[in-house]
Amino acid sequence: MLSPSKASSCHRSSPPKLFIGRESRRYSKPVAKALPVKSETPRLEDYLEAIYSLFEEKGYASTVDISDRLQVRPPTVTSIVQKLAKKGYLIHEPYRGMKLTESGEELAKSVISRHQVISEFLGMIGVGRRVAYQDTEGIEHHIQPVTFRKIERLVDFLRKNPDHLSAIRDYVDG
């Protein structure tokens, strides 16, 4: 088995948990700052996110694990893993394992960070958890870097200024 890298979660009916070491947490603090890295298709980003997550949870990611996580068939996973390897996002040795490359890990962390910040922002403004999760899954793959940075700064400001957050919540709820 190749040595593990680091690892999130993807499309499911309920919000995923991010696993850091042995402790599980909801996306409550950024894993890494979202970097303006090359963007990929939402599908490839979801695979990178799932692989990263599995490494965090288990120390490895198998085709079956990815299949279960993303609710797709194993042959589909094999095809996407081959694509990711060809693009340089992971190293894959059939029947032995896979490891994210530096660029694969960077992109996975960027997707996770976007997910965390957008989800937190939607929660801050009073969007229910289930709706926030569904909206975040769509937004995280299509948001422009400049827009994301503005939302990220706004979330940081609102964390530091709860009185402003309360006023905003009162306004949007009223």
Mean pLDDT of 116-135: 95
Q: Does 39 have pLDDT greater than 90?
A: no
Which pLDDT score is estimated for 7? 38
CB neighbour burial string for 73-86, b if at least 16 within 10 angstroms, e if fewer: eeeebeebbebbbe
Angle at 114 between CA 113 and CA 119, to 5 degrees: 100
Q: Mind listing the pLDDT tens digit for each residue in 132-163?
A: 999 999 899 899 999 999 999 999 999 999 99
Domain boundaries 18-173, corresponding CATH code: 1.10.10.10
Averaged confidence pLDDT in the chain: 82
Copy the structure tokens of residue 19: 């696993």
Q: Where are the domains of the chain?
A: 18-173
160 or 11, which is more confident? 160
